[in-house]
Structure formats: structure tokens, C-alpha cells
């Protein structure tokens, strides 16, 4: 293991909470595709399957930040366990409804409550911040490590979920996702030594949302477009492979896309970035947008595989910097909520991108539908260009805390004074 990664795991408990976070994050990549597989196998109704999966995604995007806000106020153990139990109960109800053929509206109710799923990625990252707030080199490597974990979940999660539902029984994928969530949450919250302490909010911040920070709103709006790229790429790539008679190759193509991001994240974590973080983030978003241009010219699966792998190289460094900027922009007492807004905006973008891409494939074919992620990339880049100057902290942090990774993200001469520093 490269030295920066070996260094972050020298602290007691780091290996265990990172492993628990990996286990508890698998459902993010398993649940939606598991519901689609379950419903489509049982009924053949892809419209219903997609609508239920979208309900879960949008519900998680809306409820997840509220769960994280409670975590910031009351601690991980007191909030995550009840939230996980509610999600598991909702998933159990959803699967039971398909067995006993409950009315469709009950399935949507269960799907909506399944959105109470906690953002384990944000919880684990907040533990890294608590450990390495004053050690920016290690914190940068920890953020990069978590981006690798995110990509691993999105490579293996869908394969596991689809495999269980098709080889065992249709409800196996969603139920396995619920079990992984429950095990991961209870394992993580049992580790009290590394749980971040609750930071009292300043009087003016009590009851407010982290979204009040202008810079966070810029991140959220931009990553909505980045998420749309991800969702559109998934749908169009599946359709592209199917049109050429190799539907099974789609999973390998998308795995290559994630592998490019994983490789870039691993290398990025070994570097010591210099320069202003906001400028580096802007360049990253523009690189993600530009990587969509070659997709307009692909003519076959081998060319698509190379193009997707290359496009993936821009993802992880951009998302690592996005998460790093959150601590620069929000009060320390709202750190977990701020991180969750980032992942929620990506999730909403993925749902929107998938919907638009699906309609475009139906109308114009898969070859033309790669314009959808390209347009989403242009919108993301424009939003970043117009708003990146807002990625500057207020003159004084209300909590008076030193930025979590000031040096690692490039604060120094030429950067604004005060504060600094995945998932898909």
C-alpha cells in the first residue's frame, strides 16, 4: 500500500470503521438496481420498476441531509441506528408487497420511507476529519481513499444485487442491501472511540441548514449536473451495448468507467495538491465536462471502453476536492450535513440524467443519446464558472475552528485567509 494510505491507517480504529463504512455503503449501489431487477423479473413492468427506484433515490436525497443534521446535533450512534431500522423495515415492506401483491400505492409508500437510509460515506469522512483535522496530508489521503471505496461499491454492488435477484429469488438483491446496511451501521456505531464529538452550534446557526452557505449551494448546483452525467452514462451505455447485440458487455464498460475514477483517486491521494482548492475544483469540473466530448464520436464497443475509462480519470479528483471544500464552507457543527448535501445532489442528478437519457434513447437511439451527458457537463461547467468565486469562507468561522485541510487543499499565499477543507 502506498505510504500516504499506510499512514492514515496507523491510528487505532481506522481500519475497522473504514471496513464498516464499506459494508454499509454497498446498499447505495445495490438498492435501486435491486428494486428494478426485482420488479421487472416479477412483473415485466419496467416503468413501475424505474419509478420505484427513482422514488427511493429522491427520497434519500431529501431525507439524507436531515438525518445528517440530526447526527451533527446528537451523534452518530443515537441517530443512525433508528434511521437504519426504518430503512430496513421499509425495504422489508416493499419486498413483502411484491410477494403478497399489495396495491401499488403501498409499494411507493415503502419506497419513500426507504429513503431514510443514512449517508455512511459522510459519517466515515467525518471520522477521518475528527482524527486528522490538524494533519492535512493524511486527511487528503483519507478523502482519496474514501473515493476509492465509493467506486468499489459502484463496481461490485450492482453485480452482487443483480446476481442475487436473478440466481436466487427476485427479492434477494434488495433484502441483501438492507442486511448490509443494518450490519454496517451497527458495526460503525459500536466503535465509540472514533465517533466524532458533537460540536455545539453557534447561536445564529441553531436550527439552520448548511445550505445557507453560498459556496455550498454552488457545489450542490454544480454536482447536480455531474450526477446527471453519471445517470445518463449508465442508461445510454446499456442501450448502446444492447443495440450492438452485447447487452452483457454494459456492466464491463461501466466497470471500466468506475475503474478509471478509482485509479485517478488512488494516484490523487498520493499527491500533495498545490494552489487554491476552488481553482482546482473548477478545473476538475471542466475536465469532467470535456471528457464527454469524445463520446459523441464512438462507433463501437472497444472504442467506447477506452473512452469511458479515460472519462473516469477526471471524476475522483473532482469529487475529492468537492468534499474537501465542504469543511471550508460550512460551520464545523454542520459538517456531516454539508457532506451529505453533496452526495444527495449527485443522487438527484443521477435520477434526472437517467430519466432524460432514457427518453432520448427511445426517441433518437443510443448513438445520439450521448449528447445528454455532454449537455449536462456543459451546464455543470457553466455553473462552476459562474459560482466558483463564492467558494470562499466567511471572514471568520462561527465555530472558530481551523480548516480541516488548509494546507492539503492549497491554502497559503494567494489564497483567502481563514478556512479550508467523495460520492458518488
The per-residue pLDDT for range 183-197, each reduced to its tens digit, is 999 999 999 888 888
Chunk the chain into consecutive blocks of 10 residues (it has 424) and report each block's average pLDDT, rounded to whole numbers. Answer: 76 91 87 80 74 83 85 87 92 91 90 84 87 83 84 79 83 91 93 83 56 84 91 82 78 83 83 77 93 92 92 89 81 80 84 81 84 94 89 55 42 32 40
What residue segments make up the domains of the chain, in order of their start? 14-142+158-195, 208-424
Range 208-424 classified under CATH 1.20.1250.20: yes
CATH number assigned to the domain covering 14-142+158-195: 1.20.1250.20
Predicted pLDDT of residue 201: 59
pLDDT digits (tens, 9 = 90+) for 293-345: 999 998 889 999 999 999 999 998 898 888 888 877 887 778 788 888 888 88
14-142+158-195 shares its CATH topology with 208-424: yes
Predicted pLDDT of residue 202: 55
Predicted pLDDT of residue 394: 56
pTM here?
0.77
Predicted pLDDT of residue 208: 66
Predicted pLDDT of residue 196: 85
* Secondary structure string (H, E, C) spanning the chain: CCHHHHHHCCCCCHHHHHHHHHHHHHHHHHHHHHHHHHHHHHHCCHHHHHHHHHHHHHHHHHHHHHHHHHHHHHCHHHHHHHHHHHHHHHHHHHHHHHHCCCCHHHHHHHHHHHHHCCCHHHHHHHHHHHHHCCCHHHHHHHHHHHHHHHHHHHHHHHHHHHHHHHHCCCCHHHHHHHHHHHHHHHHHHCCHHHCCCCCCCCCCCCCCCHHHCHHHHHHHHHHHHHHHHHHHHHHHHHHHHHHCCCCCHHHHHHHHHHHHHHHHHHHHHCCCCCCCHHHHHHHHHHHHHHCCCHHHHCCCHHHHHHHHHHHHCCHHHHHHHHHHHHHHHCCHHHHHHHHHHHHHHHHHHHHHHHHHHHHHHHHHCHHHHCHHHHHHHHHHHHHHHHHHHHCCCCCCCCCCCCCCCCCCCCCCCCCCCCCCCCCC
Amino acid at each position: 500500500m502506498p505510504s500516504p494510505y499506510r499512514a492514515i491507517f496507523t491510528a487505532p480504529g481506522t481500519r475497522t470503521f473504514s471496513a464498516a463504512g464499506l459494508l454499509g455503503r454497498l446498499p447505495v449501489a445495490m438498492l435501486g438496481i435491486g428494486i428494478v431487477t426485482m420488479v421487472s423479473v416479477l412483473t415485466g413492468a419496467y416503468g413501475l420498476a424505474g419509478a420505484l427506484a427513482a422514488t427511493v433515490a429522491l427520497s434519500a436525497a431529501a431525507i439524507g441531509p436531515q438525518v445528517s443534521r440530526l447526527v451533527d446535533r446528537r451523534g452518530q450512534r443515537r441517530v443512525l441506528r433508528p434511521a437504519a431500522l426504518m430503512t430496513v423495515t421499509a425495504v422489508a415492506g416493499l419486498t413483502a408487497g411484491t410477494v403478497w401483491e399489495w396495491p401499488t400505492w403501498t409499494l411507493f409508500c415503502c419506497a419513500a420511507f426507504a429513503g431514510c437510509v443514512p449517508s455512511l460515506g459522510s459519517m466515515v469522512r467525518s471520522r477521518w476529519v475528527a482524527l486528522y483535522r490538524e494533519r492535512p496530508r493524511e486527511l487528503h489521503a483519507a478523502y482519496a481513499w474514501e473515493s476509492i471505496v465509493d467506486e468499489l461499491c459502484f463496481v461490485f454492488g450492482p453485480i452482487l444485487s443483480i446476481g442475487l435477484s436473478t440466481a436466487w429469488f427476485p427479492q434477494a438483491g434488495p433484502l441483501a442491501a438492507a442486511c448490509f446496511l443494518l450490519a454496517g451501521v451497527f458495526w460503525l456505531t459500536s466503535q465509540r472511540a472514533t465517533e466524532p464529538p458533537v460540536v455545539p452550534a453557534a447561536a445564529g446557526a441553531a436550527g439552520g441548514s448548511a445550505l445557507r452557505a453560498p459556496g455550498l449551494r454552488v457545489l450542490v448546483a454544480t454536482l447536480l449536473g455531474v450526477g446527471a452525467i453519471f445517470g445518463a452514462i449508465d442508461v445510454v451505455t446499456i442501450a448502446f451495448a444492447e443495440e450492438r447485440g452485447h447487452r452483457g458487455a454494459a456492466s464491463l464498460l461501466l466497470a471500466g468507467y468506475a475503474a478509471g475514477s478509482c485509479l485517478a483517486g488512488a494516484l490523487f491521494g498520493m499527491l500533495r495538491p498545490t494552489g487554491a482548492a476552488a481553482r482546482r475544483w473548477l478545473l476538475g469540473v471542466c475536465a469532467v465536462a470535456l471528457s464527454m466530448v469524445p463520446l459523441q464520436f464512438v462507433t463501437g464497443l472497444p472504442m467506447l471502453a477506452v473512452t469511458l475509462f479515460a472519462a473516469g480519470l477526471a471524476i475522483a479528483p473532482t469529487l475529492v476536492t468537492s468534499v474537501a471544500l465542504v469543511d471550508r464552507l460550512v460551520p464545523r457543527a454542520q459538517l456531516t450535513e454539508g457532506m451529505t448535501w453533496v452526495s444527495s445532489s449527485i443522487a438527484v442528478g443521477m435520477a434526472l440524467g437517467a430519466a432524460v437519457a432514457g427518453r432520448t434513447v427511445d426517441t433518437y437511439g443510443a448513438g445520439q443519446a450521448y449528447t445528454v451527458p455532454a449537455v449536462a457537463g456543459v451546464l455543470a461547467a457553466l455553473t462552476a464558472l459562474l459560482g466558483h468565486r463564492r467558494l470562499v469562507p466567511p471572514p471568520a468561522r462561527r465555530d472558530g475552528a481551523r480548516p480541516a485541510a488548509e494546507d492539503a487543499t492549497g491554502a497559503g499565499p494567494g489564497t483567502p485567509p481563514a478556512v479550508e477543507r467523495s460520492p458518488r
